[in-house]
């Protein structure tokens, strides 16, 4: 079953609207609706808040402000772990534009929204710091960056190596604020049940949501029941929960009634955090033959002064290419903007835009083919960790991609290929992304009727978790997939690390695979030791599970029959995956996914309109659990990369700290007309060091480097290098 292109098992539910998202659950009857009123200043203090007009508006049940909101758990930095929700309505201070100043709860959404506009707020406005490009004081080095990685690394003597290099590239690149923007905005329906709380919330990690709500509301985690069977995308914005969940939970507790709150799309741009804008300097020193001798990657980003976020933007550079002299570093400067957050391959996505552009610049300076340049710098060992790679196939991806794409047709000199009014160019980029493993438990139960149930608080954020888990369990127990039921996204089930960091499928499937193994052993022990079984006294080592039947030699018995006799309530087993820090494979090897992107663009010779003409990604992710869901993930990631290269950019009004284009009309992402011929191919392998199933992270690999391939194609078409992303047409004129 593993490796089959099974259709999504939740497809019919999704297509018929029977897969409820957080705001749509019907279990709580008719809930009240909350609407968040946000600050209209970027920094300062609330001096006066008038709620009378809102409270007397039709249908209103409650207006919560910092004056009457229940006290929240400690907000000091030491108590705020990575997933912790930000405090909300806790103080009169305003830390960023749009920060909640009130929650209005009414009978209907329209009433709540209307009344929220009647909350009167007086401010004492302070001078805010909103412009990364203007401000350079207060720059500091964070203790570490995301993933617990060091902020700085140094190998060899970079300055000496760079000075001695025959060819040098030293360039600055900037990447913009970007938002995750899944289709389902962040939302929560909170239902009080006595002292407990049921939260239907849109989250990527159920256990983190539970812990966060419990800490913030000072509740026992056992009293918080999180339910998230279907999640309409996340892309990082639901790794932690945000104001909508905290406020819905608070209001439901105050009123003793179910309350639901969803962020509007504009509020998503204010309340969930964004990929920080980055200023990156990349220095490459090489010999004439293309061998890199020195690599440096330095990054400056903002952080909220309230709570630090340091994207690991230069971390990928540590494992990508060989070079004896190396330097990477991250610096932060405080700005009065929302906290930065993980957005679609945090670190690699913006970091590879810069480094893979710089590699293209180096290839151009050397007069060398960019594919060949990368192949010449393939490392034998991870150059900073000094450990071998497990299953590294970057060169295979580069070669196969070049062959399939027809890379030999690339114009060797930029701005030479013209088709009518279009200047045509080819570009490429390498991709790498670290594979992560995190603690995960999955329980599998065999019912007496011969059906299996897989239980975990693991989420399916649209990625295909239900489907791949059905495949693993069906394969592991020898059942047809229709006889496997998957129950996810419920904090009553065994705890996982959910969906994030591209670890979801590998973690959950490995744990499910182990659970199935343990369950098979239990069933065999029961059957072979039971005089009532046709398998009595036989050697379980020779057992085969197929089509719902256990065969040993010539004897057989239905798994359901074994289960029914062994335990009327069903037989179950749990499988676990440990944290990568406790798994020696992850310290002994550098475990990553790889890829190579190839893009062809046309640029209008007069208007500089940029069109993607075709794109190919060739990837190595170890074993593929399901080719359909894998391909979808990779294509989605590649398309994000096209957006990063050509379109996406949230713009800050540097007077107010507001994102001015805070909707999907002003914040551009690729639409169907932008994406024509895009294909993803996987060179399958088996990475037994990653896990027993041999598969690695897929979801975020597609965006790694894909934007650089597009930008490099624009350079090849025009001879113009744009280092300030996105590459928009006015920058080419
Ligand atoms: Mo991903 S940005 O870890 O959801």
For 681, other C-beta atoms within 10 Å of its C-beta total 16
Read off the pLDDT of each residue in 233-244 and give the average, rounded to a whole number.
96
Residue 158 has pLDDT above 80, yes or no: yes
Which of 5, 279, 20 is closest to 131 using CA atoms? 279
On the CB side of 22, how many CA atoms lie within 13 Å of its CA?
A: 38
Residue 76 has pLDDT above 70, yes or no: no
Coil, strand or helix at 661: coil
What token pair was written down for 257?
A: 């009634």
User: What domains appear along the chain, each with residue ranges and CATH number?
Assistant: 11-127+180-271 (3.30.365.10), 344-436+586-731 (3.30.365.10), 440-578 (3.30.365.10)
Q: Are 442 and 511 in contact (CB under 8 A)?
A: yes
Distance 233 CA to ligand 1 centre (A): 10
Distance 129 CA to ligand 1 centre (A): 27
Distance 237 CA to ligand 1 centre (A): 8
ipTM score of complex: 0.98
Residue 135 has pLDDT above 80, yes or no: no
**Nearest CA, atom 2, ligand 1:** 236
Q: Where are the alpha helices (DSSP H) in 289-417?
A: 317-320, 348-366, 370-376, 394-405
Helix 627-646 vs helix 706-718: crossing angle, to nearest 10: 50
Alpha carbon distance 478, 155 (integer Å)? 51
Atom of ligand 1 nearest to the CA of 499: 4
Which of 413, 431, 509 is closest to 466 using CA atoms? 509
Which residue among 437, 700, 701 is best mutated to probe the pocket of ligand 1, counting the most ligand atoms within 8 A of its Cβ?
A: 700
> Given this model, what pLDDT does residue 506 score?
98
Distance 343 CA to ligand 1 centre (A): 6
Report residue 275: phi and psi, to 5°. Answer: -65, 130
Alpha carbon distance 249, 209 (integer Å)? 12
Atom of ligand 1 nearest to the CA of 699: 1
Q: Which residues line ligand 1 (CB under 6 A)?
A: 204, 234-236, 239, 342-344, 346, 500-501
Which residue among 205, 342, 498, 636 is best mutated to probe the pocket of ligand 1, counting the most ligand atoms within 8 A of its Cβ?
A: 342
Tell whether pTM > 0.80: yes
Coil, strand or helix at 322: coil
Which residue among 501, 507, 697, 702 is best mutated to probe the pocket of ligand 1, counting the most ligand atoms within 8 A of its Cβ?
A: 501
> Given this model, what pLDDT does residue 307 score?
85
Q: Which residue has the tokens 């710089």?
A: 358
Distance 107 CA to ligand 1 centre (A): 35
pLDDT grade, residue 633 (50/70/90)? very high
pLDDT tens digit sequence for 31-66: 999 999 999 999 999 999 999 999 999 999 999 999
Mean pLDDT of the chain: 96
DSSP 178: B
Q: Catalytic site residues?
A: 700
Distance 563 CA to ligand 1 centre (A): 39
Q: Where are the alpha helices (DSSP H) in 165-294?
A: 206-217, 243-255, 265-271
Which residue among 239, 465, 698 is best mutated to probe the pocket of ligand 1, counting the most ligand atoms within 8 A of its Cβ?
A: 239
Residue 137 has pLDDT above 90, yes or no: no
Atom of ligand 1 nearest to the CA of 501: 3
pLDDT grade, residue 79 (50/70/90)? very low
Which residue among 178, 202, 209, 234 is best mutated to probe the pocket of ligand 1, counting the most ligand atoms within 8 A of its Cβ?
A: 234
Coil, strand or helix at 583: coil
pLDDT grade, residue 80 (50/70/90)? very low
Burial of 361 (C-beta count, 10 Å sphere; 0-12/13-18/19+): buried
Close Cβ partners of 578 (under 8 Å, ≥ 6 residues apart): 437, 439
Distance 269 CA to ligand 1 centre (A): 17
Alpha carbon distance 344, 342 (integer Å)? 7
Q: Higher-confidence residue: 602 or 77? A: 602
Alpha carbon distance 239, 710 (integer Å)? 29
pLDDT grade, residue 518 (50/70/90)? very high
Atom of ligand 1 nearest to the CA of 204: 4
Read off the pLDDT of each residue in 383-392 and give the average, rounded to a whole number.
97
Helices (H) and strands (E) in the chain, counts: 17, 30
Share of the chain above pLDDT 70, in %: 99
Read off the pLDDT of each residue in 68-79 and give the average, rounded to a whole number.
72
**Nearest CA, atom 4, ligand 1:** 236
> Given this model, what pLDDT does residue 368 score?
98
Distance 305 CA to ligand 1 centre (A): 23
Alpha carbon distance 191, 29 (integer Å)? 10
What token pair was written down for 733?
A: 């004129």
pLDDT tens digit sequence for 259-277: 999 999 999 999 999 999 9
By mean pLDDT, which of 82-96, 589-603, 656-670 is the weakest?
A: 82-96
Burial of 607 (C-beta count, 10 Å sphere; 0-12/13-18/19+): exposed
Read off the pLDDT of each residue in 643-649 and give the average, rounded to a whole number.
98
Alpha carbon distance 19, 232 (integer Å)? 10
Atom of ligand 1 nearest to the CA of 342: 2
Distance 239 CA to ligand 1 centre (A): 7
Atom of ligand 1 nearest to the CA of 343: 2
pLDDT grade, residue 82 (50/70/90)? low
Atom of ligand 1 nearest to the CA of 346: 2
Please provide the DSSP assignment of 452-513 as one string: EEEE-S---SSS-HHHHHHHHHHHHHT--GGGEEEE-SBTTSPP---S-TT-HHHHHHHHHH
pLDDT grade, residue 78 (50/70/90)? very low
Alpha carbon distance 697, 437 (integer Å)? 9
**Which H helix or E strand runs over 154?**
strand 153-155
Residue 249 gets the label, from left (phi > 0), alpha (psi -120 to 50) or beta, of alpha
> Given this model, what pLDDT does residue 424 score?
98
Atom of ligand 1 nearest to the CA of 700: 1
pLDDT tens digit sequence for 548-602: 999 999 999 999 999 998 888 899 999 999 999 999 999 999 999 999 999 999 9
Residue 377 has pLDDT above 60, yes or no: yes
Which residue among 202, 235, 276, 340 is best mutated to probe the pocket of ligand 1, counting the most ligand atoms within 8 A of its Cβ?
A: 235
Read off the pLDDT of each residue in 463-470 and give the average, rounded to a whole number.
98
Distance 701 CA to ligand 1 centre (A): 11
pLDDT grade, residue 75 (50/70/90)? low
> Given this model, what pLDDT does residue 295 score?
98
> Given this model, what pLDDT does residue 676 score?
87
Distance 636 CA to ligand 1 centre (A): 14
Distance 600 CA to ligand 1 centre (A): 28
Distance 487 CA to ligand 1 centre (A): 22
Read off the pLDDT of each residue in 529-553 and give the average, rounded to a whole number.
95
> Given this model, what pLDDT does residue 395 score?
98
């Amino acid at each position: 079953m593993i490796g089959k292109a099974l259709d999504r098992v939740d497809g019919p539910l999704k297509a018929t609207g029977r897969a409820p998202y957080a705001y749509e659950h019907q279990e709580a009857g008719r809930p009240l609706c909350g609407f968040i009123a946000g600050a209209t200043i970027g920094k300062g203090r609330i001096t006066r808040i008038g709620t009378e007009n809102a409270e007397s508006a039709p249908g209103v049940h409650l207006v919560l402000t910092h004056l009457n909101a229940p006290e929240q758990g400690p907000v000091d930095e030491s108590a705020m772990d990575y997933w912790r929700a930000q405090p909300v309505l806790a103080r009169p201070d305003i830390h960023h534009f749009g920060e909640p100043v009130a929650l209005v709860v009414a009978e209907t959404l329209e009433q709540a929204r209307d009344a929220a506009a009647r909350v009167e707020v007086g401010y004492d406005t302070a001078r805010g710091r909103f412009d990364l490009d203007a401000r350079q004081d207060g720059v500091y080095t964070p203790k570490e960056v995301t993933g617990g990685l060091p902020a700085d690394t140094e190998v060899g003597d970079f300055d000496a190596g760079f000075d001695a290099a025959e060819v040098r590239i030293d360039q600055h690149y900037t990447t913009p604020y970007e938002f995750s923007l899944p289709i389902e905005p962040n939302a929560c329906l909170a239902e009080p049940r006595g002292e407990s709380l049921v939260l239907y919330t849109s989250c990527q990690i159920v256990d983190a949501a539970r812990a966060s709500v419990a800490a913030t509301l000072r509740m026992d985690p056992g009293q918080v029941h999180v339910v998230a069977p279907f999640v309409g995308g996340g892309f990082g914005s639901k790794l932690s929960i945000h104001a909508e969940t905290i406020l819905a939970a608070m209001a439901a507790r105050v009123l003793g009634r179910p309350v639901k709150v969803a962020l509007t799309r504009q509020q998503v741009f204010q309340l969930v955090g964004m990929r920080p804008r980055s200023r990156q300097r990349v220095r490459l020193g090489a010999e004439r033959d293309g061998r890199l001798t020195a690599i440096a990657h330095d990054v400056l980003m903002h952080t909220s002064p309230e709570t630090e976020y340091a994207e690991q933007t230069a971390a990928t550079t540590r494992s990508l290419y060989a070079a004896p002299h190396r330097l990477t570093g991250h610096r932060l400067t405080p700005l009065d903007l929302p906290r930065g957050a993980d957005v679609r391959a945090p670190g690699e996505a913006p970091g590879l835009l810069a480094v893979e552009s710089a590699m293209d610049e180096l290839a151009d300076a050397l007069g060398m083919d960019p594919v060949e340049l990368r192949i010449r710098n393939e490392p034998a060992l991870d150059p900073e960790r000094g450990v071998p790679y497990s299953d590294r196939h970057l060169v295979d991806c580069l070669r196969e991609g070049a062959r399939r794409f027809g890379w030999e047709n690339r114009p060797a000199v930029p701005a030479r290929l013209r088709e009518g009014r279009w200047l045509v160019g080819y570009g490429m980029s390498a991709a790498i992304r670290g594979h992560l493993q995190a603690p995960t438990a999955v329980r599998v139960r065999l019912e007496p009727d011969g059906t299996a149930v897989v239980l975990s608080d693991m989420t399916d954020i649209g990625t295909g978790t239900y489907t791949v888990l059905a495949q693993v369990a069906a394969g592991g127990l020898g059942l047809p997939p229709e006889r496997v039921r998957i129950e996810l996204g419920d904090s009553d089930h065994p705890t996982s690390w959910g969906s994030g960091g591209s670890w979801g499928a590998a973690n959950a499937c490995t744990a499910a695979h182990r659970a199935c193994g343990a369950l098979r052993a239990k069933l065999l022990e029961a059957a072979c030791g039971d005089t009532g079984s046709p398998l009595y006294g036989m050697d379980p080592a020779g057992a085969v599970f197929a089509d719902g039947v256990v065969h040993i030699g010539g004897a057989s018995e239905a798994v359901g029959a074994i289960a029914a006799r062994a335990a009327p309530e069903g037989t179950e087993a749990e499988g676990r995956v440990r944290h990568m820090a406790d798994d020696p494979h992850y310290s002994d090897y550098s475990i990553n996914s790889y890829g190579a992107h190839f893009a062809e663009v046309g640029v209008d010779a007069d208007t500089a309109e940029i069109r993607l003409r075709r794109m190919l990604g060739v990837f190595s992710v170890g074993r593929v659990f399901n080719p359909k869901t894998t391909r979808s993930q990779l294509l989605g990631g590649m398309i994000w990369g096209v957006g990063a290269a050509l379109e996406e950019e949230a713009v800050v009004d540097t007077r107010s700290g507001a994102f001015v284009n805070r909707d999907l009309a002003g914040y551009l992402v690729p639409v169907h007309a932008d994406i024509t011929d895009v294909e993803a191919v996987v060179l399958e392998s088996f990475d037994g060091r990653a896990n027993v199933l041999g598969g690695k992270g897929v979801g975020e690999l597609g965006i790694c480097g894909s934007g650089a391939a597009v930008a490099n194609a624009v350079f090849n078409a025009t001879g113009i290098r744009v280092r300030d992303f996105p590459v928009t047409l006015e920058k080419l004129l």
